[in-house]
Copies of this chain bind each other. A is one copy, B any other.
């Protein structure tokens, strides 16, 4: 019987903090911390407006080799590792798949995705395709994928090979248990050990942005308002007070 490793899950505080920060702030903060690129390039938001964060369960595909893989999708399904990654699903989990950028194999279909959602899974990031979307479109999962195909997961060139091992997805290394932050900008990988620092740094410089945005929309001077200049700080402070007065 196949046994695959589970992951260690982060605290709810880390997940919530990163979700609040969003992908853009997480990526730019990681960049300042020395992680040059945390963006998974390739998979794009298929479910516009969705914004999620959660730990990564990982699934790795490899080029298909017929001596190591049987062809029929229904014969002994328990040997198929794309099922096993889903067996680990806990509420809030995100599945990250290295499908090698393949555009003619669909990693999961309606039934598998339904099971994933039933177990509390919240989203998938796939360097490849999903299938069976006409049936799966009513599900409530966040999807960052390269595309769709009617072909099933091992129909052409790839086969599932490993679960919860390090994977390369969209040109980025993802370790099992790393935290994914994904929204319309795309999906970002936050190394688990850096998550707290990312939250701390990305929450610093936001207080004046609402003010600046209002002024810029009115035709205000970029040099004065973004970043907030010393010259504009009294104006900002007055605005803060006025806002407070309004809402009190």
| Residues of chain A at the chain B interface (Cβ within 8 Å) | 22-24, 26-28, 31-32, 34-39, 41, 44-45, 51, 62-68, 72-74, 77-78, 83, 86-87, 100, 103-104, 106, 109-112, 114-115, 117-120, 131-135, 137, 147-152, 155-157, 161, 166, 168, 171-173, 183-186, 188, 191, 193-194, 205, 209, 212-213, 216-220, 222-223, 225-227
Give the residues in chain B near A217, CB-CB below 8 Å. 114, 117-118
Top 6 nearest A-B pairs (CB, nearest first) are: A23-B150, A27-B150, A150-B185, A115-B216, A24-B150, A114-B216
Give the residues in chain B near A51, CB-CB below 8 Å. 134
For this complex, 12 residue pairs linking A to B, each with C-beta atoms less than 8 Å apart, are A24-B131, A24-B150, A28-B73, A62-B168, A74-B205, A74-B227, A111-B212, A115-B222, A134-B183, A148-B184, A149-B186, A150-B185
- A29 smallest CB distance to B (angstroms): 10
- A25 smallest CB distance to B (angstroms): 8
With A65-B173, A155-B36 already in contact, the answer to whether A184 and B137 are too (CB < 8 A) is yes
With A66-B36, A168-B100, A183-B134 already in contact, the answer to whether A155 and B74 are too (CB < 8 A) is no
Contact between A63 and B155 (Cβ–Cβ < 8 Å)? no
Interchain CA distance A85-B86 in the complex, whole Å: 34
Contact between B134 and A209 (Cβ–Cβ < 8 Å)? no
Contact between A155 and B114 (Cβ–Cβ < 8 Å)? no
Interchain CA distance A135-B110 in the complex, whole Å: 31
- A236 smallest CB distance to B (angstroms): 14
Give the residues in chain B near A188, CB-CB below 8 Å. 150
A119 closest partner in B (C-beta) = B219
Interchain CA distance A131-B188 in the complex, whole Å: 13
Interchain CA distance A22-B34 in the complex, whole Å: 30
Interchain CA distance A210-B23 in the complex, whole Å: 37
Contact of A131 (CB < 8 Å), options: B106, B115, B120, B185:
B185
Interchain CA distance A186-B155 in the complex, whole Å: 15
Contact between A41 and B104 (Cβ–Cβ < 8 Å)? yes
Contact of A111 (CB < 8 Å), options: B38, B147, B209:
B209
Contact of A227 (CB < 8 Å), options: B23, B44, B77, B166:
B77
